[in-house]
Amino acid sequence: MSACSSIETKLTQELEPSHLEVINESYLHNVEPGKESHVRIVIVSQKFKNLNLVKRHQLIYKQIDNELEGPIHAISLHTFTDSEWKERNETAQESPDCLGGMKTEET
């Protein structure tokens, strides 16, 4: 099972999201083709209600600790309750451009 599939399964089971996107953004970075090293997660769950951003992230980290110790190098988390998701017109901010790890041209 791929790391992204594993993450999706774990988060679905534990957080019962009404919306979940697990996106492999590794192709945007200087990694070998097919790698799963950079992942963006957009998740909407009522289990986030009354939790601040740090607590929400900790809840996710707890579920995907094996993937974070293994193939995942970087993770971008976008966590919302149903009402927050609706307020944002069901959209999450795009990931920023990669600022590091790029090959430099030799002169």
Question: Residue 20: which of 37, 5, 3 has the closest Cα?
Answer: 5
Per-position pLDDT tens, the chain of length 107? 799 999 999 999 999 999 999 998 876 766 677 677 788 999 999 999 999 999 999 999 999 999 998 888 888 999 999 999 998 888 787 766 665 654 443 43
pLDDT score, position 101:
52
Interacting residues of 26 by C-beta distance below 8 A, sequence separation 6+: 35, 36, 37, 38, 39
Residue type, 60: I
pTM here?
A: 0.81
pLDDT score, position 98:
61
pLDDT score, position 97:
62
Q: Which CATH superfamily, name and number, covers 3-87?
A: BolA-like (3.30.300.90)
- How do the domains of the chain map onto residue ranges? 3-87
